[in-house]
Amino acid sequence: MGPDPRYFSVRTAAGNLQPVRCAGPRPDFISGRAPVFPLCATFRHHVLLPGFPASGVIALAASRRLFLILNGKAAQREDVRGAIAAVRERGNHVQVRVTFEDGDSERYAKEGMRLAREGEIDVIVAGGGDGTLNQVVNASLVEDSSPKCSFGLLPLGTANDFAHGAGLPAADPWAALALCAEGDATSIDVGEVENRVFVNLLTGGTGSRITVETDPAMKKLMGGAAYIFTGIGRLHDLQPCRGEFKADGFAWKGEFLAMAIGNGRMAGGGIELCPDAKVDDGMLDLMVVPFLSRETLGETLRTIAQNGLGELANTVVRAKADRFEIQCDDELFVNLDGEPDSGRSFDIRVRPKALRFHLPE
């Protein structure tokens, strides 16, 4: 009689083989050969299946407990439901909380942090766009500045700027959720201004006002391009901002069209505002687009929309620091990962290694 198909051996960190019981037959007994797993993540445990040589060591994920905070607009999507089912079928546990009204993301994030402290979950996953991620992370860090769990993103928004900039599979819910369930987490920074944080970028100026005023129906139809069309359509009343930016060894003052301070790289529907930004370098990247003249405003917006900031390299102001101070003559409209705010003065700092986040290698 052959080996019991319900058992396999896990190679522990000490190098020993430990027998572990499966809920069902081992994959090799089903397929008749060593199983092949999707290469969408780095798996946590190496497994040596009985009957295979040492060179046949494969990767197999241990069960992980996910707490998914899902934007209500995406709850009925078949690909999302399929991704959740597939991750569960691989032995992981997924609790789902669906948002319905303002404040739900924050309330569920606090619940997730409590469960993490009690050892009941391993990962909090934000299922939505950049705004959902911002709400979840802010509420989580208010609840506990040193989270006991890791974080992940199931990108389901319009722009998905953080996901694109970080290389997350924004078009594949199964791959994104599998990364949270079976991939390693790495420590990342967040930006902090007053009592709020941002994971991706803080943007300000005319561009941020455009983001706030872009029609949701247009966003759904056109995606990130909707922001640009809104801006071009409002050229007649767009006004430049005037302010001063300071950091250690850096200062700039003048009129500007847009600014960004990036922990991540992209905003505004896929525009690479801070191409050199890294989420784990302990620094923030500043980008300022000076306001040259009203005659060139339309062309500047079109250039950014079509080619990013590459053609404005000689005009754009850039700096890198762990802290920036901004002082403006008038109210400056800003967005933190798409969440609106405003003010005349801002003290923006990096909070190094604030989160453990599931990102591709």
- What pLDDT was estimated at residue 314? 80
Any idea which residues carry the catalytic annotation?
Answer: 339
* 298 vs 143, residue with greater confidence: 143
* 299 vs 138, residue with greater confidence: 138
Q: Could you tell me the pTM of the whole model?
A: 0.76
Residue 352 sits at φ, ψ, to 5 deg, of: -65, 140
Mean pLDDT score, 149-153:
98
Alpha-carbon gap, residue 231 to 66, rounded angstroms = 39
Mean pLDDT score, 50-55:
40
Q: DSSP readout, 79-132?
A: HHHHHHHHHHHTT-EEEEEE--STTHHHHHHHHHHHHHHTT--SEEEEEESHHH
Question: What single-letter DSSP state applies at residue 292?
Answer: -
Mean pLDDT score, 348-361:
96
pLDDT in tens, 192-248: 998 899 999 999 887 545 554 544 543 444 344 444 434 444 445 567 889 999 999
Asked if 160 contacts 259 with a C-beta cutoff of 8 angstroms, the reply is no
Say if residue 65's pLDDT is above 60: yes
Say if residue 3's pLDDT is above 60: no
- What pLDDT was estimated at residue 55? 38
The pLDDT-based confidence of 1 (bands split at 50, 70, 90) is very low
* Domains of the chain and any CATH numbers: 7-60 (no CATH), 65-183 (3.40.50.10330), 201-350 (2.60.200.40)
CA dihedral 60, 62, 66, 70 (to 10 degrees): 10
Alpha-carbon gap, residue 129 to 197, rounded angstroms = 16
> Would you state the structure tokens that stand for residue 112, as one six-digit string?
């997730």
> Would you state the structure tokens that stand for residue 262, as one six-digit string?
């990036």
pLDDT in tens, 241-275: 899 999 999 999 999 988 999 999 998 778 889 99
> Would you state the structure tokens that stand for residue 353, as one six-digit string?
């290694």
Asked if 207 contacts 257 with a C-beta cutoff of 8 angstroms, the reply is yes
Least confident of 25-39, 56-70, 226-240, 314-328: 25-39
Asked if 237 contacts 206 with a C-beta cutoff of 8 angstroms, the reply is no
Q: Are strands 271-272 and 284-290 parallel, antiparallel or unpaired?
A: unpaired
Asked if 197 contacts 355 with a C-beta cutoff of 8 angstroms, the reply is no
Say if residue 280's pLDDT is above 90: yes
Amino acid identity, position 163: A
Least confident of 3-17, 83-97, 98-112, 164-178: 3-17
* 329 vs 270, residue with greater confidence: 329
Question: What single-letter DSSP state applies at residue 63?
Answer: P
Q: Kindly report the average pLDDT of the chain as a whole number.
A: 80
Which of 111, 78, 76 lies closest to 97, judged by CA? 111
Mean pLDDT score, 35-45:
36
Mean pLDDT score, 342-350:
96
Residue 323 sits at φ, ψ, to 5 deg, of: -155, 135
Asked if 336 contacts 196 with a C-beta cutoff of 8 angstroms, the reply is yes
> Would you state the structure tokens that stand for residue 216, as one six-digit string?
């949701």
Distance of CA 310 to the CA centre of its chain: 24
Question: ∠ at Cα 122 (136, 116), nearest 5°?
Answer: 65
Say if residue 113's pLDDT is above 50: yes
